[in-house]
Structure 1
Amino acid sequence: MTLDKALQELGSYGIRVRHTSPFYATSCFPAGAGPDYVNACAAAECDLAPVEILEALHRVEALFSRQRDQRWGARSLDLDLIAIGDMVLPDASTQAAWRALPPDRQTAEAPDQLIVPHPRMQDRAFVLVPLCDVASDWRHPLLALSAQELCDALPPEARAEVVPL
């Protein structure tokens, strides 16, 4: 499976995967952007700077024919950097501004720099359900809630759409 191979490939960039969640079937996001997805979360360690981690993720995506032609368009592989411990990048106000970006602007605008934690992770069951499998006690450094608390705050029907494979 592509996801298994991509996780293995991270090692060639110095990213050591320590834990991986089960794989989950989820509807494509946004709806209609392509076929349904397989989602998972991995806890990893490395000695890379945050931007170097993102660059490594993009290189692995390219190895699996990822094309970045359209924001949230169909993709063969999408590796996101969700969080790095309690790090906030580039700063709390920028992260908060992207977190508050209205939905109609989210599809049209993309940050020109790395934003960590991912500014919409708290809204996405397809991120939080697998994250709870590998780091349920991780705390969002700005929202001061654990991954499990963020997940539990989502509507039950959103969590139910993340189906174990």
Structure 2
Amino acid sequence: MKKLFVLICLTFSLSGFSQEKETIDFKRNELKGNALFLVLGAGEIAYERLINEDAGLGVSLFFVKEEDFDTQFSLTPYYRAYFGKKTAAGFFVEGFGMINSGNTGSYSEYDSVNQNYYTTEGKKFTDIALGFGLGAKWIQKRGFIFEINAGIGRNLFNSNSPEVVGRGGITFGYRF
């Protein structure tokens, strides 16, 4: 009877051990602003939702009123894969899509035959681009974020739009 009781106890105790993966609870939302564009007279805000410790999905909104930029508005969803030791921090690569619109810019030329200047007005465009980027993210214990990134993409559809689009900045934010 003792042997049967010991066997039953061992069977129940062995079935109590499971092999579930230990999950780490962490803050999953980030809100960021691009300080570099702010200095240049434009604005960019971004929101990122962390899927797990190594990946995140986000969207950024770029806007500018000045005519110094060809692209005056862009909406950019992106996916990032992180390779750092901390949760969603360190070196990352990203793939992005970009809906962008703006004006190709006007320019003036001098006509030496008629001895006067003439201005060619730019054309408005709206296009969709695909691209990739690289960067690094550092996070403080309290949740403050510093990020540097750069990327390049190519517009796909409109012949009036610039062939190549850029993405990048020096970003500050907060993880909550």
Task: Work out whether the TM-score is over 0.5.
Answer: no
Higher alpha-carbon Rg:
2
TM-score per shorter chain, which class? under 0.3
TM-score normalised by the chain length of structure 2: 0.23
Larger RCO of the pair (alpha carbons < 8 Å, separation 6+): 1
Select the structure that is richer in strand: 2
